[in-house]
Structure 1
């Protein structure tokens, strides 16, 4: 990954952070808008009833699929045409570093990173959940998990979708694009930390209910898996690796939630879904 150049570093750093936040928020916003428009067409245009399962499917397709994945691929394709005129207008020389989102079949080393990252993220979530419970703060519930609690069959859709859409889509956007863009001008540690903060912070919109302090604490715990995803991408340079970790992490939480909803009487900390 590229590192910062000495040419106007403060300007480059500010642009990278603003661009990263804008791209991450823009991808989610596009997905939410498309979901709302399609939902409105189905309800008011076609007179259909949008079931909980259908609302989840729409969100997966338009938020994680088109919003996250689509924006990531669009930025990757448009970057060579966008960068030169922007750099010229800002008084920066050259066309800037070549941007790409490297992806390849995982090697044995990559698979070991997936296994280690998955375990670390999951242990972090469990410990974080215990800490939140001890603090007795009012945390919100992830909206997808909330629907799953009321309609357990929806969780059976979310489990495979974690690998097929949620993990790949969000990682393409937040690690591939946001972290890739920020990493162009920052060293590895801030290059992982800053995108992780953006990733966790934007999950605020996915929480339903809870107090501001409780939701802030929940997002603080979400920084643990976020840093794991980012560190895995930094170390391997392969977007498939954090996508697999993310997918396995979410699939496990959805599976545990399904088991508890169907067969138990206490719910796990569902605000920690990434």
Structure 2
């Protein structure tokens, strides 16, 4: 299934995409794409619904973040060997964890705002993992049982805030609009292998990132297991699993976003995002 949320910011309705690509309203079935809806019983209930019997929503309706009530967004740093190489960093021996404030989360096609005093706002296409059931100290062989599905994340980053202003990476990752999520939550059964997905990002039509999840240092299964050793993952939490090479700071010389530019990005089977860049 492809689950989504549509409508004005803060007033999104739950929806699904039918086989013909039409948006169908789930408001009479569930209150939102969140909580117990993301567990096995909740998803099985949605699978039993005939989309043809649901009201159709206009295709030009705004798309919001594909999951609601996200309690935390945990990101993985330097998780692609080729991205670590372009930044001059060593491949980590354990996953590097940092947090992106949930206030950064926005719709997949919402305007991304360069924060005030920013000079180095950058892009990062990533595979997002949406947690479906509570995960604490899970074994690696059981980790995927806790995954509801996958989505696209643009882990927008301000590199000067991230690396030149002291402290941890979070301040460079958490500006408003720095977390476009969606357009869809694609349920786990529709993704045969999360370690075999192409992902890409263009800026103003120029291909900047063109990679594959096959070059992840730590795969999805290990990440769910690993993160659950340090914190409990709850339904709706998102793991953003790292980015392939081609980010702006890895260019020679570095290239960063400017107001008026457009980003397009996608992950195989998970749709596309498109964001215009504005100024806060």
The alignment's TM-score, normalised by the length of structure 2, stands at: 0.31
Higher relative contact order (CA 8 A, sep 6+): 1
Higher-strand-fraction structure: 2
Larger Rg: 1
The alignment's TM-score, normalised by the length of structure 1, stands at: 0.31
